[in-house]
Amino acid sequence: MKISYYPGCTLKNNAKNFEDSALCSLKTLGVEVEELHRWNCCGTVFSLATDDLIHHVAPIRNLIRVKEAKNDSVMTLCAMCYNTLKRANERVKSDPESLQKINDFMYREDITYKADVKVLHLLEILKNDISFKKISEKISKPLNNLKVASYYGCMLVRPEGIGFDDIENPVILDELMQILGASPVDFPYKVECCGAYQTVDKPEIIVERTHAIVDSARNNGADIIIVSCPLCAFNLDHRQKETLKKYPEFKHIPVLYFTQALAIALGCPKESLRFDLHYVDPKPILKEKGLIS
Amino acid sequence: MRINISRKNIKNSFVEKIIEISGQNLLHCYQCGKCSAGCPAVSEMDILPNQIIRFAQLGLKEELLKSKSIWICASCMTCNARCPKGINIAEVIEAIRLILLRKREDHVQIEKLSDDEKTEVPPIALVSNFRKFTS
Ligand code: SF4
Ligand code: SF4
Ligand code: SF4
Ligand code: SF4
């Protein structure tokens, strides 16, 4: 059976490197995925208000699309999409009255949603369904000698019950990097927020966070930082430009999606890596380690 | 800072609104400070997360509505994850933001953002920013 895939809006432009590398990796692993038909933006952030049902309509509508595709689970890549879809789903699962209202609101949909879709993140699928063992058998270019700081941020791990790893000390990315042959480094800032959407109107806040987070990775010996969220990627990579302006002694480190590291190890062609979308060029360090030509 | 504590303030409609929107019991907080200790944004805040809860308990409406902190919080959920009393502080802060946003008092004026500010960031940043800071 094909896995239903929800891309979300940023994976189609700024984070095309995330999407292309993920899809190439899955193909190499022999997993068939199919993008949802007529998906819509999930709204990015889960509404925290008790009385704000309208903002759960967008994520729930996407879950109806999964049922239309005759599937019972959906794969996400973006950590924020994952969080929003999963939390909205949990909310209506535990609150039939809200579910009823949202269904009533979407009366033109052919399917009445029954809160029966499972929202999964690619990392869970890699670990639980495909298995890290099978991945290790398919590796053609182990990431030897590459020191990696895995950044989890917020939305992959919090709140408790939504994330699929320990909320204070997640390890799944480090485990994956180890399977790929890389060496994870200790990284105390791995679950510290990058400042998220403050990047639009208060980029000076992001400069401070990026400075602290990237410096910590460097001080622990990392060659690259690994992320799973396009907003983390933008803040930690592109905002290094403004960070350097404020802190002249600051040193750049490339930021990669975990799927790009996976794609390199699985021997995906370089077109799927899309390094042209990065601010800090990852090519020099990857060439130095003999991982790309 | 000098604060007048009164029954009237503690039971005012502003406090009731916060409790209603956030779904949190403010009186559970015993001011341990753990939320503020782990918050990555405290250096830019004027009222710290534990103080936000205390101010809300006391009904200090003006102080909360004009505080910078409610717009500095990035809903990273670190405070929620660590509160020993199970209080969702991020939800309380969202409720205070919403009290303003629902009166159309937007924090970000989209028309005032320059083209550069809008085009340099990815869609995920714009959508989340406008969801949090506009009505
Ligand atoms: S969370 Fe972001 S990337 Fe995902 S669909 Fe929504 S805005 Fe797009
Ligand atoms: S963008 Fe920041 S707030 Fe969002 S998931 Fe990434 S680290 Fe967390
Ligand atoms: S961690 Fe919880 S109990 Fe402690 S000050 Fe913060 S809100 Fe109050
Ligand atoms: S959710 Fe807001 S208040 Fe809580 S730790 Fe994060 S930034 Fe601080």
| B122–A45 CB contact, under 8 Å | no
Q: At a CB cut-off of 8 Å and minimum separation 6, what does B6 contact?
A: none
- pTM as predicted: 0.95
How large is the average pLDDT for residues B78-82?
Answer: 98
CA distance A137 to chain B (A): 35
User: A169: which residues sit within 8 A by CB, 6+ positions away?
Assistant: A191
DSSP state letter for A36: P
Task: Report the gap between the CA of B13 and the closest CA in chain A (Å).
Answer: 17
Q: Do B44 and A167 touch (CB under 8 A)?
A: no
For residue A85, the model assigns a pLDDT of: 98
Give the CA angle between residues B76, A151, A161 to the nearest 5°.
50
- Please list, residue by residue across A242-272, b when 16 or more beta carbons sit within 10 angstroms of its beta carbon and e when fewer do: bbbeeeeebeebbbbbbbbbbbbbbebeeeb
From chain A, the residues in CB contact with B94 under 8 A are 48-49
Which residue's CA is the nearest one to ligand 1's atom 5? A8
Domains and CATH numbers, chain B: 7-103 (1.10.1060.10), 107-135 (no CATH)
Distance set, CA A209 to CA A16, A188, B42 (Å)? 25, 13, 12
Flag residues of chain A having pLDDT under 70: 1
Fold for the domain defined by A133-288: Rossmann fold (3.40.50)
Neighbours of B3 (CB within 10 A): 11
**Contact list, B127 vs chain A (CB under 8 Å):** 9, 41, 43-44
Residue type, B121: V
Domain segments of chain A: what residues? 2-121, 133-288
Measured between alpha carbons, how far is B64 from B107 in angstroms, rounded to an integer? 14
What 3-state class would DSSP assign to A145? coil
A10 and B122 within 8 Å at the Cβ level: the answer is yes
Assess whether pLDDT exceeds 80 at residue B1.
Answer: no
User: Would you tell me the crossing angle of helices B89-101 and B49-58 to the nearest 10 degrees?
Assistant: 60
Residue A159, preceding peptide bond in cis (omega within 30° of 0): yes
Q: What ipTM goes with this model?
A: 0.95
Please give the Cα distance from B45 to A105 (Å, whole number): 39
* Residue in B22, B28, B32 to alter for ligand 3 test, most ligand atoms within 8 A of Cβ: B32
Q: Is A223 helix (H, G, I), strand (E, B) or coil?
A: coil
What's the pLDDT at A249?
A: 97
Give yes or no for residue A193 CB within 6 A of ligand 2. Answer: yes
pLDDT attached to residue A1 = 67
Per residue in A162-203, pLDDT (tens digit) is 999 999 999 999 999 999 999 999 999 999 999 999 999 999
Query: What atom in ligand 2 is closest to the CA of residue A153?
Result: 7
Query: Is residue B2 predicted with pLDDT exceeding 90?
Result: no
Residue B74 pLDDT grade (very low, low, confident, very high; cuts 50, 70, 90): very high
Chain B residues lying within 8 Å of A56, measured CB to CB: none
> Are A269 and A24 a contacting pair, CB within 8 Å?
yes
Q: What one-character-per-residue DSSP string does A77-135 give?
A: -SHHHHHHHHHHHHHHHS-HHHHHHHHHHTTTSSS---S--EEEEHHHIIIIIIIHHHH
Q: Which fold has domain A2-121?
A: Glutathione S-transferase Yfyf (Class Pi); Chain A, domain 2 (1.20.1050)
Q: What average pLDDT does range B28-39 have in this prediction? A: 98
Torsion (CA) A181, A186, A188, A192 in degrees, nearest 10: -10
Of residues A56, A49, A84, the one with CA closest to residue B95:
A49
